[in-house]
Amino acid sequence: MNKIINVVAAVIIKNGKFLCTQRANTKYLAYKWEFPGGKVEPGEQLENALIREIKEELGCNISIKKYLLTTEHNYDFGTVKINAFLGQLIDNDPICLEHNMICWLDSSKLNDLDWAEADLPIVSYLQKTEKDLNERLILEA
């Protein structure tokens, strides 16, 4: 039976652009693009794990606005189960602490990146729902 690896990811939108992060060259799936986040510790709530991971990896704080979707992908090391949430920056802009690089992209440019397989369903979801997500952030601002 495949090992299940529970992961959280943040979809962060600023000025209509999505935050994308490129995995470091020292990590599995080096140089692949992903939405920022990381592994959930045993007993940790998903939202708390995401807030912690964003602070560790990007040096900024976010608030969780909405659960978006869950995606699973089988890799040779196990099944990655990603719970994706819409997050909003609270303070600082993200800085690249653990990734190779970060960038902000329009939804029309997301397909230009070489994404980790597990993140591809999130990309598709965002391209279908971008307008609704932007409106939600504006209404809650």
| Domains (range + CATH), the chain | 4-140 (3.90.79.10)
HSE (side-chain half, CA atoms, 13 Å) at 115: 17
114 pLDDT band, cuts 50/70/90, is very high
- Tell me, rounded to whole angstroms, the distance of Cα 130 from its chain centroid: 15
Q: Give the pLDDT score at 38.
A: 94
Q: Mean pLDDT, to the nearest integer, of 53-57? A: 96
Using a cut of 0.95, tell me whether the model's pTM lies above it.
no
Cβ proximity of 3 and 78 under 8 Å: yes
pLDDT (tens digit per residue) in 71-88:
999 988 899 999 999 999
Nearest to 56, CA basis, from 14, 25, 10, 15: 10
